[in-house]
Amino acid sequence: MKDSLLALEDRLAQGQDFERLLHPDFFEFGHSGRRWSRAEVLAELSGAGGTPARADVQAIDLTPGCWLLSWRSLGPRPAWRSSIWQHGAAGWQMRFHQATPIP
């Protein structure tokens, strides 16, 4: 499951499938500390980004159809990242994301 969820994370990082992959109730605590709604994320994020380098990846089965993915992003703005993925009628969708900067 970890590889499947990381592939979905990569699609989002590359600017693909936001409408499909973000749950209707999605929200995020961003790298800046700001809370983002789904609508704000959809308005701000567009175009291709890049696939981030990662370390310390963990995938934890929280309940049937709900997984927590956590990892450390590498590069010029390293951060601990976590996301909750929920499986439903629309397939796998990200319900929550958080990025905590690493000083």
> Would you write out the chain's pLDDT as a tens digit for each of its 103 residues?
999 999 999 998 888 899 999 999 999 999 889 999 999 988 887 655 677 789 999 999 999 999 999 999 998 889 999 999 999 999 999 999 999 999 8
Is 32 buried (19+), middle (13-18) or exposed (0-12) by CB count in 10 A?
Answer: exposed
pTM of the full predicted structure? 0.90
For residues 90 and 3, give the distance between their C-alpha atoms in angstroms, rounded to a whole number.
19
Is 96 buried (19+), middle (13-18) or exposed (0-12) by CB count in 10 A?
Answer: middle
* Residue-level pLDDT at 44: 82
Question: How many CB atoms within 10 Å of residue 92?
Answer: 19
Closest of 31, 36, 50 to residue 94, by C-alpha: 36
* Residue-level pLDDT at 16: 86
* Residue-level pLDDT at 46: 61
Residues recorded for the chain: 103
Q: Answer yes or no: are the C-beta atoms of 29 and 99 closer than 8 Å.
A: yes
